[in-house]
Amino acid sequence: MVELETKVTESGILYVPKEIRECFSRRMKIIPSVSAAVFFPADARYEDVLSSLKIIEADLEQRIRMAKQKRKAEEDGETLGSNPGDRPAGSTLSQDPYQRIEKIIENVRRAAEKGPFMGE
């Protein structure tokens, strides 16, 4: 699963990368929580959104497991991740998945505090 990073402008507008805009309509719904938010096409069925969230949850769990394995290997003086199959999709050797997840959560939290995610 790919992970994209985006920016929120000073006026509170969230830049949505082209790869995502092409997959969604211009009308979106957003459901925020304390640590994250989900946005999806306004006409999407909630069942489909929930199915997609289960896939994302599994990916996040895998990234967390890999980060824990990496930290344990580093504590033991080993090198983890030299084999691409040992890493979550979209990661590189220089990226710690746990730190990336924390950064995503912080970015979503800041964006939610600033206001609307998309401008009309």
Domain ranges of the chain: 18-114
pLDDT above 90: percentage of residues in the chain: 36
CA distance to 21, 56, 59, per residue, from 50 (Å): 20, 10, 14
Instruction: Report pLDDT digits (tens) over 41-62.
Output: 999 999 999 999 999 999 999 9
Instruction: Report pLDDT digits (tens) over 71-95.
Output: 988 888 865 455 555 555 554 445 5
Distance CA 43, CA 120 (A): 17
Distance CA 32, CA 14 (A): 14
Burial of 67 (0-12, 13-18, 19+ CB in 10 A): buried
Asked if 36 contacts 105 with a C-beta cutoff of 8 angstroms, the reply is: yes
| Model pTM score | 0.57
